[in-house]
Amino acid sequence: MRKRIYLCLAHMSGQEQKFIQEAFDTNWVVPLGPNVNGFEEDLRQFVNSCSDGTTINKEVVALSAGTAAIHLALIACGVQAGDEVICQSFTFCASANPVTYLGATPVFVDSEPDSWNMDPELLERAIIDRKAKTGKYPKAIIPVALYGMPYRIEEIMAIANKYGIPVIEDAAEGMGSRWKGQVLGTFSDYGVLSFNGNKMITTSGGGAMICKDAEAKRQIMWLATQAREAYPYYQHETIGYNYRLSNICAGIGRGQMTILDAHLAHHKHIAQRYREAFAEIEGITFHDAPSADYDSNYWLSTALLDENVHIQGEESAYAEAVQGAVGGAAGVVHSGGSVHTDCEPNRNVEALRMYLDKAGIESRPLWKPMHKQPVFRNCPAYTNGVSESIFKRGICLPSGPMVTDEDVTYIIETIKQAIK
């Protein structure tokens, strides 16, 4: 039987065990230690290096998750209960959920069709309208590097600076992606990275915050370690959090940093294979970088299916409710109980997912826009129809370091067979 091809699985360098063993040998198994310091330094050097040889001077804090980084960045930006934060609608929920932790309200902004990321024109319209409606500007803006594709950061920063609103760059999916040669997450005061098990590199679970300077790093580290005051006993005057990365997980991260460049090259190579193949298949469009300014890591390779592309088994798509989560889940999911929602992938997209699954190939729909999620139904949203249209037509294909050229050939041939 042929092996199953997964969307994006972690790949070990062989160096991780050395750093983990050192942690055990020296009894550093807590959320601090040499591996944490070393991992932060490795990350700092990477994010500060530009493609043209110039360097910038950002600091990095290793944390337990990218979501934790967003939460702490919001606190650092002064977000409190009753405030509003502008979030990209077309993304995973981890960008917006931390806003609600603070009692604030996400304000969703739709995408532009080229990068699929936050539309700068719609962003400015939302800022002006929220000021008119509430009497104050949103407290932060969170653009997202969807599937690794850079956002139009120069335009977003210009708008943010115009209205005095801080930007938190969510580059959780964009580790190593660049805009005009500069690493995403380094354009604003705060940037967010993720090292979840399916990301470009992994610490099994973890993330990091890119900070503007050493003082900002010190403040984030303080908040991430329960916000203790300088007394010979535990004195707390501010609410803190247990968000630091463990020395064990950081050891995995140090090993992963030795193969980051190889992973970036591999994802781009896989993207090129899909790009060439779909150029010859009518009705399937590979999501490509709009211009040379966008240096995407192609964390996931994605494509759009025209509605007139018909797939075998299309008549059976949505015939019954899915039990569990498509592709599995890193936790417990509720059984929805119904077959349809008010916004879902087109029937041919679902049929292709099912066809690939039967062939041992994991694929998934794109992220469902946050403004169409029931949990955010009462949040303000500024939409243009772009993200809903892309969600209905899009699919994610295997792209990770364990995906071989032979696998891609098999995937492409299977897609061709699936088309009626």
Tell me the backbone φ, ψ of residue 317, rounded to 5 degrees.
-65, 135
Fold assignment, 16-259: Aspartate Aminotransferase; domain 2 (3.40.640)
Angle (CA) 371-373-389 rounded to 5° is: 60
Question: Residues spanned by CATH 3.90.1150.10 within the chain?
Answer: 261-418
pLDDT in tens, the chain (420 residues): 688 999 998 888 889 999 999 888 888 877 788 999 999 999 999 999 999 999 899 999 999 999 999 999 999 999 999 999 999 999 999 999 999 999 999 999 999 999 999 999 999 999 999 999 999 999 999 999 999 999 999 999 999 999 999 999 999 999 999 999 999 999 999 999 999 999 999 999 999 999 999 999 999 999 999 999 999 999 999 999 999 999 999 999 999 999 999 999 999 999 999 999 999 999 999 999 999 999 999 999 999 999 999 999 999 999 887 766 654 555 667 766 678 999 999 999 999 999 999 999 999 999 999 999 999 999 999 999 999 999 999 999 999 999 999 999 999 999 999 999
**DSSP summary character for residue 384:** -
What does the block give as tokens for 30? 């807590």
**DSSP summary character for residue 90:** S
Q: Are 177 and 162 in contact (CB under 8 A)?
A: no
Fold assignment, 261-418: Aspartate Aminotransferase, domain 1 (3.90.1150)
Closest CA to 181 of 363, 56, 82, 52: 52
The CA distance from 386 to 381, in Å, is: 13
Question: Residues spanned by CATH 3.40.640.10 within the chain?
Answer: 16-259
The CA distance from 294 to 151, in Å, is: 8
